[in-house]
């Protein structure tokens, strides 16, 4: 027994010496861990801004920033795991999570945007700079190289967002978020903690966050769906997409650009999944962030190309049905429909369209459609990889195939209940339709 105690004491003493020897590394790893957790929560919650702001260009920019934050988080995790004291897990401490739970609360998406970009993102930039100042630039060279790039990203993010925040009256909310952050000692929790003022209320503790039933498109016209059968009413005519219709390739090019622009709906409903999965593995959120950015790029293909072909985008209504239906379903069902139904099911039709549009010898559209197809194949692979783990997070024990079939049936039921509720913003005379597409394409 005495021998065992002696051995334990010796091991403890040795461990203590080892910790002291690694103290400089562990101090920096602790700072890196805080920044990693902060970036993780940024990914999970900044995505709630996407479907609450209306300007397409702002949505696209947010998706890019979120993807870059996901890259930051993964690099931080990999570097952190090389350093003693960082830890192997990916959980986020309560103090940090509650700041982000508070940040999503404003009903006005632009007010929430100001909280992120005038308080939370500047705090992140400050922390990156602090770490870079405190660490040894030779001993910790790998961290230095990464953080220099991340600082450049954060500075660019701030610059890119300035024009969207001009005129946004968010002083009260910005002050509220600064107070909340100061109460935990800042992002790194190394500043003096300030007592909350009398009357301060944590809004997220009074009422939890929920996704809005309808996503925002700002000033742009909306409708339930752009797909239909009447060329005097709808822009994408389903029978015209069929091989036997032999629709003119120039018409198909315009219709598929409208279709691509409408991938904005995928941006909005995919963005809802992040918040609903707080304990998801980082790699899941990383792939979803890439997926989100891809979909935003696909939407940009249409948004930017349609005007070049003579279409006024203010005549193109945005379809909101998929968001309105899917937001009523839990996250695993949203993800199942997106990856296993909508994307996987689009390959045959898009393959035919790609082949036909190549008749035009339009290098730009050929390139855009090729990359769209490549990205969509990756997205379906994401679905095969992450749907089962996502189901497990929600306690769903069914086989994936059975779950997908049940979800498809449920979607049809929900489409009857929640779909078709968004009226046309524009009259048939004002909005883009199939017959107007023919006219623009110069086809009788």
Tens of pLDDT, residues 132-176: 999 988 999 999 999 999 999 999 999 999 999 999 999 999 999
Question: Tell me, what's the pLDDT at 138?
Answer: 93
Q: Above 90 in pLDDT, residue 192? A: no
Q: Are 353 and 252 in contact (CB under 8 A)?
A: yes
Higher pLDDT among residues 444 and 353, named by residue: 353
pLDDT band at 123 (very low <50, low <70, confident <90, very high): very high
* Statement: residue 4 has pLDDT above 90: no
Whether 13 shows a pLDDT value over 70: the answer reads: no
| Interval 25-63: pLDDT, tens | 999 999 999 999 999 999 999 999 999 999 999 999 999
Least confident window among 3-7, 194-198, 405-409, 425-429: 3-7
Indicate the pLDDT class of residue 352, thresholds 50, 70 and 90. very high
Question: Which pLDDT score, from 0 to 100, does residue 17 have?
Answer: 57
What is the rounded average pLDDT of the residues 187-209?
92
What pLDDT, on a 0 to 100 scale, did the predictor assign at position 20? 57
Q: Which two tokens stand for residue 244?
A: 């036997």
pLDDT at 249 over 70: yes
Confidence (pLDDT) at 323: 97
pLDDT at position 7 is 37
> What percentage of residues in the chain have a pLDDT greater than 70?
95
pLDDT at residue 22, rounded to an integer = 66
Share of the chain above pLDDT 90, in %: 89
Q: According to the model, what pLDDT value does residue 240 have?
A: 96
**Residue 9: is its pLDDT beyond 60?**
no
Average pLDDT of the chain is 93
Which pLDDT value is given to residue 18?
A: 56
- pLDDT reading at 104 higher than 50: yes
pLDDT bucket at 197, cuts 50 / 70 / 90: very high
Please tell me the predicted confidence (pLDDT) of residue 201: 94
3 pLDDT exceeds 50? no
Q: What is the pTM of this model?
A: 0.93
Which whole number is the average pLDDT over 216-229? 96
pLDDT beyond 80 at 11? no
For residue 24, the model assigns a pLDDT of 87
The whole-number pLDDT of residue 361 equals 93
């Amino acid at each position: 027994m005495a021998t065992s105690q002696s051995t334990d004491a010796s091991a403890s003493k040795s461990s203590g010496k080892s910790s002291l020897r690694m103290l400089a590394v562990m101090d920096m790893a602790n700072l890196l861990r805080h920044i990693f957790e902060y970036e993780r929560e940024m990914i999970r919650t900044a995505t709630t801004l996407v479907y609450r702001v209306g300007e397409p260009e702002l949505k696209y920019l947010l998706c890019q920033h979120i993807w870059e934050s996901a890259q930051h988080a993964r690099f931080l995790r990999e570097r952190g795991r090389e350093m003693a004291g960082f830890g192997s897990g990916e959980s986020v401490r309560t103090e940090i999570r509650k700041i982000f739970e508070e940040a999503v609360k404003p009903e006005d998406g632009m007010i929430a945007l100001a909280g992120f970009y005038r308080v939370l993102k500047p705090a992140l930039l400050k922390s990156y700079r602090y770490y870079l100042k405190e660490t040894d630039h030779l001993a910790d060279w790998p961290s230095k190289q990464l953080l220099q790039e991340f600082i450049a990203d954060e500075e660019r993010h701030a610059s890119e967002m300035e024009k969207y925040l001009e005129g946004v009256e968010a002083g009260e909310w910005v002050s509220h978020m600064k107070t909340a952050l100061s109460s935990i000692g800042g992002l790194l929790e190394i500043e003096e903690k300030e007592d909350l003022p009398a009357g301060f209320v944590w809004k997220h503790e009074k009422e939890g966050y929920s996704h809005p039933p309808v996503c925002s498109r700002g000033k742009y016209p909306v409708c339930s769906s752009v797909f239909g059968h009447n060329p005097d009413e709808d822009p994408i005519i389903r029978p015209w997409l069929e091989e036997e219709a032999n629709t003119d390739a120039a018409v198909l090019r315009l219709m598929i650009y409208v279709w691509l622009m409408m991938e904005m709906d995928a941006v909005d409903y995919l963005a809802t999944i992040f918040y609903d999965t707080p304990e998801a593995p980082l790699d899941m959120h990383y792939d979803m962030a890439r997926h989100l950015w891809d979909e935003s790029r696909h939407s940009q293909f249409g948004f930017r190309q349609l005007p070049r072909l003579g279409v006024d985008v203010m005549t193109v209504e945005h379809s909101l049905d998929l968001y309105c239906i899917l937001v009523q379903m839990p996250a695993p069902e949203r993800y199942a429909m997106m990856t296993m139904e909508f994307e996987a099911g689009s390959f045959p039709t898009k393959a035919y369209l790609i082949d036909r549009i190549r008749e035009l010898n339009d290098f730009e559209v050929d390139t855009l459609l090729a990359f769209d197809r490549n990205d969509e194949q990756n997205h379906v692979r994401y679905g095969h990889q992450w749907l089962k783990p996502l189901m497990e997070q929600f306690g769903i024990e069914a086989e994936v195939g059975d779950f997908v079939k049940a979800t498809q049936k449920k979607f049809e039921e929900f489409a009857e209940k929640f779909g078709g509720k968004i009226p046309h913003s524009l009259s048939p005379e004002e909005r883009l339709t199939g017959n107007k597409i023919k006219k623009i394409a110069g086809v009788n």
